[in-house]
Amino acid sequence: MDDPIHTRRIALPCLGLRVAAAALLLLSPAAVTPAASHNDHGEHKNFLVIVRTPYEYDKNLYKNVSSWHASLLSSVCDSAKETLAADPSAITRLIYSYRNVVNGFAARMTPEEVDKMSKMDWFDRALPEQTYHLLTTRTPQMLGLMGGRRPGDGLWNTSNMGEGVIIGILDDGIYAGHPSFDGAGMKPPPPKWKGRCDFNKTVCNNKLIGARSYFESAKWKWKGLRDPVLPISEGQHGTHTSSTAAGAFVPNASVFGNGLGTASGMAPRAHIAFYQVCYQEKGCDRDDILAAVDDAIEDGVDILSLSLGHEDAIDFSDDPVALGGYTAILNGVFICAAAGNTGPSPSTLVNEAPWLLTVGASTTDRRFLATVKLGSEDELDGESLNDPNTTMGEPCPLVRDLADGTCANENVLKAQNITGKIIVCEAGSAVSTAKAKMVKGIGAAGMILVTPEVFGPVLLPRPHALPTVQVSYAAGQKIKAYIQTTKGAAKATFVFKGTTLNTPQSPMVAPFSSRGPNRRSRGILKPDLLGPGVNIIAGVPSIEDVELAPKAEVPRFDIKSGTSMAAPHLTGIAALIKHAHPTWSPAAIKSALMTTAEPTDNQRKPISDVDGRPASFLATGAGHVNPQKAMDPGLVYNMTATGYVPYLCGLNYTDQKVNTIIYPEAPVSCANLSRLEQDDLNYPSITAILDQPPFTATANRSVTNVGAASSTYTVEVDVPASVKVEVNPTKLTFKELDEVLNYSVTIKSANDQAPTGPVEGQLKWVSGRYVVRSPILVTTGAGKDAPATRQP
């Protein structure tokens, strides 16, 4: 009798189907009962319920998946316990019924109901709610998209700017009226597009082809959430990421005259399908994220971009990015995710599953140069987003904040009388734009913002209410020393120099970009690679935290930094590759991006970290994306979705967990499969774990020829003397396209002991025309992998 498969009677007070509820919301937002009035006294909570895999929806018994899930839920919903009896129709216990991403549903239940449910034989797990977070125009030229010396060199030429490719973006909202989303000149979406536009009809066009909101789960947790059916104003982050991936050309874009130029996304002719899953100052609910991916896959997106993640590295079988991501690649949908913004400490990475492209952030070569000229004639370079035409005139008295240095205490500053002076403030917890307003309000002539030490030379300027120069920690120390020695006679002025390009040592790893090792699968190097993520100019609904002159035009571009900004760069570039190579699998596109990434900067030195030393592979992955080369990589490390199954078994996931991840693939039993060690996964980077005798690891790889039909590659290996590497064979001779050849790499310690410290090298397959590079990382054990924290 406990078997719900045969429990046909549906206990209505418990139910209300998401489909019906959603339709209601869309038609008439005013009719929505706010969460707080649902007579929900707090004992019901949101759960993601995973159903055991042998249990599948039976078409003969249930009309559809939601009616099946509803029946499972009703089998434990005890209506007697309902405090909702008075208003049964108002309660929606079934929040989401998933079709693609997991075998399960999201529902509101009491602890007693969960307990009762856990005794059902169809029950696998119930996960309590989880909150994820968003991780925050010259890049096309810098990345070589616009073409090189000869016409036709540009990647945009071969890829036709991503025409016809559909990019699905999960984020916090999109400002549909932005010029970056103008549909002029765009072709209609391909016929496979099944998505919808839940904005009012006038808003979507051939650029922004879809817009949907997911808040059925979030609304319970964030009471009073404004009805987000038209996610227009809540789009600071999502407008920026969407326009970075696929924004149209917008001439004369700048941030107060800085970075002036024609703005565009990486794939200006790709279509955007927007899925709102995050809410400003709140976050993104796991079950809403899952629902959006569930729909996006059916809508027909080609690529998914997720600039969000949990604070922790979540088990793949509990994580919506990993769960949704597997179903995405199973459907040939490429998925790109941000690596996290909690660097530079080690083991801070998120979104680690090998089927995702995990993107770290790097600096660009653009600076918004401004100089602090001290009375001593010393000049210290910094950056500023003040209008470069601003002039300061005569030097002003220069003072420090006499409180804690962060200019947080207005009364102290007032007592100090900073009228007509330049004030030095350390970056503190308060938003710098708020500080600027405050110090301007009490008469300051200018502000110098000192960046935290951990940022090294990397500065993140913002537009401010008064002339402001942001300087590095090192420059800040010099300024403070000068103030000290002049004993009250210190003076300074600012010189705004505007935008400069070709900054040496670019790209550099962003200080905040999260670092490996991979906490969930240490045999897979993450991040996969770096993309531009520092001071990125892209579209916004309006500039945040900045007061504009009464009649000023609302600026439509702003600067943001984060791995959130790096991921959509890769999303757009993946769209270009997808256009040029429509039959390539997600793994092949990822391989193309990784094996052609640049390990060196614009001075041909290894990409450096903010301390000036070469960055670890745990920060850079394969290196910095080179879109032009990624279009034509020569060889790719291909994978099918099912190829990850023996790997999951090798990670010692239980059958239930493996089956949760691979759903809707047929269930497997690991006992029936050969387990794959992590180093044998056909991944474009190589990680050898040498933590026990005999300190030897062998990694097998298969490469597919996508370059010249008849071609010969020879191997080149470059590793430190502490390890020895043997590759077998050392030559690969291809006779035709799509031919697959295998090789194995044996990596052993040179002295039969665990190598000390991280060992990094590379393996390259080289033909006349191609270089196919894989980074090699040798680690010596859990925990011991991490290099010394690189806090300068």
Ligand X SMILES: *[C@@H]1O[C@H](CO)[C@@H](O)[C@H](O)[C@H]1NC(C)=O
Q: Which residues are catalytic?
A: 171, 237, 564
Contact call for residues 782 and 522 (beta carbons, < 8 A): yes
Least gap, CB of 617 to ligand X (angstroms) = 20
Least gap, CB of 24 to ligand X (angstroms) = 12
Q: What is the dihedral of CA 521, 523, 524, 525, to 10 degrees?
A: 110
What is the rounded distance in angstroms from the CA atom of residue 425 to the CA atom of residue 480? 10
**What is the footprint of ligand X within residues 468-507 (CB under 6 A)?**
none
> Of 396 and 475, which has the nearer Cβ to ligand X?
396
Contact call for residues 90 and 15 (beta carbons, < 8 A): no
Task: Count the alpha carbons within 13 Å of 558 in the hemisphere toward its beta carbon.
Answer: 24
Least gap, CB of 669 to ligand X (angstroms) = 4
Least gap, CB of 218 to ligand X (angstroms) = 21
N-terminal to C-terminal alpha carbon distance within the chain: 65
* Per-residue contact flags (x/-) with ligand X for residues 504 to 523, judged by CB under 6 A: --------------------
Where does residue 191 fall: left (phi above 0), alpha (psi -120 to 50 degrees), or beta otherwise?
Answer: alpha
> Of 532 and 586, which has the nearer Cβ to ligand X?
586
Longest dimension (CA), the chain: 88
Tell me how many degrees the CA angle 544-546-547 measures, rounded to the nearest 5: 130
> Of 21 and 474, which has the nearer Cβ to ligand X?
21
Three-state secondary structure call for residue 250: strand
For residue 386, state whether it binds ligand X (rule: CB under 6 A). Answer: no
Residue from 27, 191, 202, 488 touching ligand X (CB under 6 A): that is 202
- Long-range contacts, 388-391 (Cβ 8 Å, 24+): 388/257, 388/258, 388/496, 388/497, 388/498, 388/499, 389/257, 389/496, 390/467, 390/494, 390/496, 391/496
**What is the footprint of ligand X within residues 692-721 (CB under 6 A)?**
700, 702, 704, 706
Nearest to 74 by CA among 11, 121, 126, 2: 11
Least gap, CB of 600 to ligand X (angstroms) = 27
> Of 42 and 152, which has the nearer Cβ to ligand X?
152
> Of 413 and 615, which has the nearer Cβ to ligand X?
413
Least gap, CB of 112 to ligand X (angstroms) = 26
Stretch that binds ligand X, among 107-115, 147-155, 268-276, 626-634 (CB under 6 A): 147-155
Helix and strand totals (H; E) in the chain = 18, 35
Contact call for residues 103 and 254 (beta carbons, < 8 A): no
For residue 147, state whether it binds ligand X (rule: CB under 6 A). Answer: yes
Residue from 118, 485, 744, 751 touching ligand X (CB under 6 A): that is 744
Least gap, CB of 164 to ligand X (angstroms) = 17
> Of 110 and 585, which has the nearer Cβ to ligand X?
585
Stretch that binds ligand X, among 250-258, 337-345, 547-555, 770-778 (CB under 6 A): 250-258
* Per-residue contact flags (x/-) with ligand X for residues 569 to 598, judged by CB under 6 A: --------------xxx--x----------
> Of 179 and 606, which has the nearer Cβ to ligand X?
179
Least gap, CB of 508 to ligand X (angstroms) = 28
Residue 73's contacts (CB-CB under 8 Å, 6 or more residues apart) are 14, 15, 49, 93, 94, 105, 107, 109
* Per-residue contact flags (x/-) with ligand X for residues 89 to 128, judged by CB under 6 A: ----------------------------------------
754, two tokens = 């665990």
What is the rounded distance in angstroms from the CA atom of residue 578 to the CA atom of residue 166? 10
**What is the footprint of ligand X within residues 667-686 (CB under 6 A)?**
667-669, 672, 680
Stretch that binds ligand X, among 33-41, 63-71, 289-297, 300-308 (CB under 6 A): 63-71
> Of 31 and 788, which has the nearer Cβ to ligand X?
31
> Of 39 and 160, which has the nearer Cβ to ligand X?
160
Q: Tell me the sheet residues that pair with 778.
A: 688, 759
Q: Tell me the sheet residues that pair with 761.
A: 776
Nearest to 90 by CA among 10, 24, 8, 7: 24
The percent of the chain in helix, strand and coil, each rounded to the nearest 5, is 25, 25, 50
Least gap, CB of 695 to ligand X (angstroms) = 15
Tell me how many degrees the CA angle 554-556-558 measures, rounded to the nearest 5: 115
How do strand 334-338 and strand 303-306 relate by DSSP bridges? parallel
> Of 98 and 584, which has the nearer Cβ to ligand X?
584
Three-state secondary structure call for residue 787: coil
Q: Does residue 511 have a cis peptide bond before it, meaning omega lies within 30 degrees of 0?
A: no
Residue from 257, 261, 375, 787 touching ligand X (CB under 6 A): that is 257
For residue 411, state whether it binds ligand X (rule: CB under 6 A). Answer: no
Residue nearest to ligand X (CB): 257
Contact call for residues 46 and 287 (beta carbons, < 8 A): yes
Q: What is the DSSP string of 43-61?
A: --EEEEEEEPTT----TTT
Residue from 42, 152, 694, 768 touching ligand X (CB under 6 A): that is 152
Stretch that binds ligand X, among 83-91, 323-331, 662-670, 762-770 (CB under 6 A): 662-670
Least gap, CB of 455 to ligand X (angstroms) = 28
Least gap, CB of 647 to ligand X (angstroms) = 10
Residue from 603, 652, 735, 736 touching ligand X (CB under 6 A): that is 652
Residue from 742, 751, 756, 791 touching ligand X (CB under 6 A): that is 742
For residue 640, state whether it binds ligand X (rule: CB under 6 A). Answer: yes
Least gap, CB of 389 to ligand X (angstroms) = 4
For residue 203, state whether it binds ligand X (rule: CB under 6 A). Answer: yes
* Per-residue contact flags (x/-) with ligand X for residues 11 to 50, judged by CB under 6 A: ------x-xx------------------------------
Q: What is the DSSP letter of 75?
A: T
Three-state secondary structure call for residue 240: helix
Three-state secondary structure call for residue 13: helix
* Per-residue contact flags (x/-) with ligand X for residues 412 to 451, judged by CB under 6 A: -----x-xx-------------------------------
Phi, psi of 644 (to 5 degrees): -80, -15
What is the rounded distance in angstroms from the CA atom of residue 586 to the CA atom of residue 577? 10
Residue from 29, 128, 185, 251 touching ligand X (CB under 6 A): that is 251
> Of 424 and 610, which has the nearer Cβ to ligand X?
424
> Of 321 and 636, which has the nearer Cβ to ligand X?
636
Number of residues that bind ligand X (CB under 6 A): 45
Residue from 74, 358, 513, 638 touching ligand X (CB under 6 A): that is 638
560-595 burial, b at 16+ Cβ within 10 Å, e below that, comes to: bbbbbbbbbbbbbbbbbbbbbbeebbbbbbbbbbbb
**What is the footprint of ligand X within residues 284-343 (CB under 6 A)?**
none
> Of 160 and 600, which has the nearer Cβ to ligand X?
160
Task: Count the alpha carbons within 13 Å of 336 in the hemisphere toward its beta carbon.
Answer: 33
Residue from 58, 119, 224, 252 touching ligand X (CB under 6 A): that is 252
Residue from 27, 31, 58, 63 touching ligand X (CB under 6 A): that is 63
Tell me how many degrees the CA angle 550-555-558 measures, rounded to the nearest 5: 135
Residues that bind ligand X (CB under 6 A): 17, 19-20, 63-64, 66-67, 147, 151-152, 154, 157, 177, 200, 202-203, 232, 251-252, 257, 387, 389, 417, 419-420, 583-585, 588, 636, 638, 640, 651-652, 667-669, 672, 680, 700, 702, 704, 706, 742, 744
